[in-house]
Amino acid sequence: MITPTPLMGLVTGFWSFKTFAAAVELGLFTRIAGGQVLTVQTATTEFGLAERPADLLLAACASLGLLERTDEGYRNSALAEEFLVAGKPYYFGGQVRYCDERTYLPWHRIGEALRTDKPLTWDPQAKETVFGDDDPEMLALFWEAMYSTSIFTARALADAYDLSGQRRLLDVGGGAGAFSIELCRRNPGLRATVLDLPHVCAQADAKIAAAELTGTVETISGNFLADPTLPDGHDTVLLSMILHDWDEPTNELILGKCFAALSPGGTIIISELLLDDDRSGPPEAALMGMNMLVETEGGRNYSGAEYRRWLHRAGFTDIRTVAFTAPGANGAVLARKPPSS
């Protein structure tokens, strides 16, 4: 018998996120790192909460798999201990905070975005791009969010596609360098160049230095949209979570620049949350498309078939798709530039 139970899950989905975000904002998981146990009574003192909200928060976090209940109280789950303790290498709190502070309230006006086809998190009349440096604090939060997501997506890509034969990678719009760092770690013969805006390259340089990969991964300041050409001399070009930000004509322009810059016989990698070819799912790709409505002027998530069509028109051959599971992508579309080009 059909019941409305699945619909109730959709209706209350934001309860989970806001509980999660509130716990991150309080620093709950950082406070009890290293196996420490927190009781309701301790939480009232530690976080300045009354007994009722402290009890409800801890129980809710346990129900979400973020805490574990012991005889003595609550402690971090393995997931929270690994990714939600501030200062750890793969801290995911930046992603949580970015979504909570940047996109959550604009999403309340999704109907407006549907009617106007205009972004809600910024004003295109007042700013040239959503990636500008006018709000340094939010920008830093954004790149931290992207870095934590991208590290594990890069690992999944490296498992799904063997880059051991490649020597020079151009990471177009590479942000804070997570993909370049992780792919070079996995492939000692690989050298990478992160191409991004000057203020973003500064963030990447810091991450590269912290990873002790200075000299292996470098940055080049540039604008892959405005610049007429991309840096050449690379046998691999990576576009990770880039093309969903733009409309079809812009993406074809970007792919044309990639084709021109890529060494003959080289490979292009498009890593994205890919829609099924019939555009009926999966949910993570389709809903990211809705988020592009909130955050961009022309972005949307695309299917593998659409990427294959654009790559063919750009001159690429041997087009194929590899699937994987990761926070920022579910697959990559791969293609080659003919050796005689």
Which residues are annotated as catalytic?
Answer: 244
The amino acid at residue 111 is G
DSSP 178-239: HHHHHHHHH-TT-EEEEEE-HHHHHHHHHHHHHTT-BTTEEEEE--TTTSSS----EEEEEE
Q: Three-class SS of residue 68?
A: strand
Sign of the four-CA dihedral 117, 119, 124, 130: negative
Among 95, 71, 90, CA closest to 79: 90
What are the beta bridge partners of residue 191? 168
CA atoms within 13 A on the CB side of 207: 28
CA proximity to 145, closest of 269, 41, 24, 26: 24
DSSP H or E run through 267: strand 262-272
Nearest alpha carbon to residue 106 among 128, 123, 131, 129 = 123
Evaluate whether 216 touches 191 at the Cβ level (below 8 Å).
yes
**DSSP secondary structure letters along 271-340:** EE-PBPTTS---HHHHHHHHHHHHH-SS----BHHHHHHHHHHHT-EEEEEEE---SS-SEEEEEE--TT
Q: Read off the tokens for 145.
A: 């969010």
DSSP 265: E
- Find the farthest-apart pair of alpha carbons in the chain and give their distance in angstroms, rounded: 72
